[in-house]
Structure 1
Amino acid sequence: MLTRDGCRLWTEVGGDGPPLVFCHGGPGLWDMAGDLATMFAGHHRTVRWDQRGCGRSERRGPYTLDQSLQDLDDVIGEHAGGGATLLGHSWGAHLALEYALGHPDRVRRLVYVAGTGIGDEDTWKPAFRRNLGGVLSGWDRASVVRLWTAEFPDRERAAEHAEAMATPWFDINRECSATINAEIARRLRETDLAARCRELRVPVLVVDGSADLRPRSAVDSLVAALPDVRRVVLDGASHLPWVEDPDGFSGAVLGDPRR
C-alpha cells in the first residue's frame, strides 16, 4: 500500500473477524508476526506490515515517531476500516500506545506485549545490558542471531528460536533504529506520559514474559496509570512470549473479557 506521502509499505492481510493490526518491534526491524497471524486468524482479520524503511517496505524516511504514527494511521485506514485492536510488541508496543493516546476513537483495544514502559530508559536499559551478557559484534545475520539467542531461557531451543526470528532476513535499518530510539528517549524524559495515560479510555491488556531480559518492573508505572488495564505475566516466557508459551499467550489475548 501507499502512505499519504507516497511511501510504499509491505502489508499482509488474512483471517476473518474484527481487525487486529500488529506493530512489530525494533525500530529498524521488520514484521515477525507470522505465528501470531496464524494463531489469531480464526478470530480476527489480521494485518501485518513492515514499518517505513524496514523489511519489505520502501527504504526512505523520515524516521520519526510522528511519521510512524501517521503510517500506522494509514495502515488502519487502508486495511482495518478505520478502527482495530492493536497488538504491539517491544518498540511496537510503545508505538501502539502512542497511537491509542492520539486516536482513541480508532482503537478498540490495545494489547501491549513486552514493552518497556513510560519511564526513563535508565529504569530498564542498564539491567537489560547486564542480563544480555554481550554486545552486538556486527550487523550481519550471524552476529544478530548469536545475540538474539540470549533472549531465550530454554537453552536447548534458543538457537532455533533466534534463527526463526531471522527468517526471512532483511538488513536492519540502523538509521531508523538510532534516530527513533533517541527521539523516544528524549520524549520520555521531557513528557509526562503518565498523565496522558490516565485519560485513556481504551481497554489495555499488558502481556509480559517473566524471563524477559528487560526488567518487567519498568512497566509498573504504565499499568498504574492506565484506568482500564489487565496484566498477564507468563511464567518462564521471555521477550517473545507467544513463541515459548503459545497457549498461554493466545489464552490471555482471546480470553480477555473486554474483547
Structure 2
Amino acid sequence: MPAAPIRARSNSLPLMPFSTSDGVTLWTTTTGTASSLPPVVVVHGGPGLWDDYAVLAEMLDDLTVVHRFDQRGCGRSGPSELQSVRRTAQDIDELREYWGHERIVVLGHSFGATLALAYASWYADRAAGLVYVGGVGIGEWHPPTLAEEARRRTPAQRDRLVELEENPRRTAAEETEFRVLAWFTDHADRAMAMTWARESAAVDLPINFAANRALTTEVNAWPDDFVAGLATGIRAPVTFVHGAGDPRPVSTVRELATHLPRQTFHLVPDAGHSPWREQPELFREVLREAVQGC
C-alpha cells in the first residue's frame, strides 16, 4: 500500500510515495520537527513483523524528525521475495536519500538492532549514531534464551505453543493465541506479560514467515568474527540498551560492545525485551540522551 505522506524537504513540495530501486513500495510515517540534531530512523524487529513503535517516536519527536517504516514484504509494505540484510540495509539508505538527509541515527530493536548495526557499518559515512535496543550481540545466545523462555511458560503453555506452531492453517483466534504464547515471555513483569503480549498480538497484520525464515537463517549463519567486524566498522557513537529481565542474555551484548570504542551501555533494571513498557521514564531519558549525544 502507498507510503503515508511525510514532511516535505525545504522546497516545501510534497513527496511522492516511496518505492525502492527494485520496485518495492514501503509504508512510512514521519513525526517531529527538523532541528540541529540528526533525524532518527526506527528499524523494527521480527524479522517478518512491522513497525509498532509510535511510543518511541513520541519520546523523541520534540527533539528532531523521526521516521518509521515497514521493511520490505512486511506489515503495510509491498511484497518482496528478496529478503536479505544487505538489501534491507540498502532500503534504509534509499529512504535516507528520499527523505533528504545526509546522515541519520538508526534506532533498532531486536532483529532491528542487528539490521541497524549492519547499516551503521556498511554505510558508516551516513550513520550519525546507532541505538541498539534488545539485540542479541555476539556468541551463544540461543540456548540461554530458549531455556529462560521455557522457564517462563507452564508445561501446558509449552505444549500448546508447539501444537499451534505445527498447525499451518491456524484460525484468526489461534493465530492470536500463538502470538501471545510466543511473545509473553519477553516481558519481565509477569503480572503484565500476558496483557502486553495480547496488545502486540492484536495487530491485524500477517507475520511474513518466509521473511522470518530467510533472515533468521542468514543472521544465524554469521560467525562471531563477522559480527565483530561489523562493529569495528562503525564510526558513529553507539548506545546499547538492554533490559535486565530480557530472556536474551546481556552477556553476549556486552561482548559485542567490547568491539566498539565509542559506546555507552545501559542495563535497564526490572525490564524485559521492550524496556520502554516497564521502565518508560528511564528508557525515555536514555533514548533522548543517546540522540542528543549524536
Q: TM-score, normalised by structure 2?
A: 0.82
Question: Shift of residue 220 of structure 1?
Answer: 1.8
1:74 equivalent in structure 2: 94
Mapped pair 1:48 → 2:65: no
Moved more, 167-176 or 53-62: 167-176
Q: Distance in 2 between matches of 1:246 and 1:102?
A: 31
Aligned length: 255
Structure 2 runs not aligned, ≥5 long: 1-17, 151-157
Amino acid at match of 2:55: D
Question: Shift of residue 196 of structure 1?
Answer: 4.2
Q: Distance in 1 between matches of 2:275 and 2:258?
A: 22
1:240-259 correspondence to structure 2 within 5 Å:
240-256=274-290, 258-259=293-294
CA contact (8 A) 1:207 1:231 kept: yes
CA contact (8 A) 2:189 2:271 kept: no
Residue in structure 1 matching 2:212, options 174, 177, 183: 177
Question: Shift of residue 109 of structure 1?
Answer: 0.7
CA contact (8 A) 1:77 1:83 kept: no
Mapped pair 1:224 → 2:264: no
Q: SS at 2:186's partner residue? A: coil
1:36 equivalent in structure 2: 56
Task: Say which one has the larger Rg.
Answer: 2
2:39 equivalent in structure 1: 19
Moved more, 71-80 or 178-187: 71-80
1:9 equivalent in structure 2: 26
Q: Percent identity?
A: 34
2:110 equivalent in structure 1: 90
Q: Distance in 2 between matches of 1:167 and 1:16?
A: 31
Q: Distance in 2 between matches of 1:197 and 1:162?
A: 32
CA contact (8 A) 1:19 1:80 kept: no
Moved more, 75-84 or 37-46: 75-84
Question: Shift of residue 156 of structure 1?
Answer: 2.3
Q: Deviations over 1:86-132 (max 9, x none)?
A: 1000110010011111111111110000100133xxx1111111111
Amino acid at match of 1:129: L
Q: TM-score, normalised by structure 1?
A: 0.93
CA contact (8 A) 1:93 1:112 kept: yes
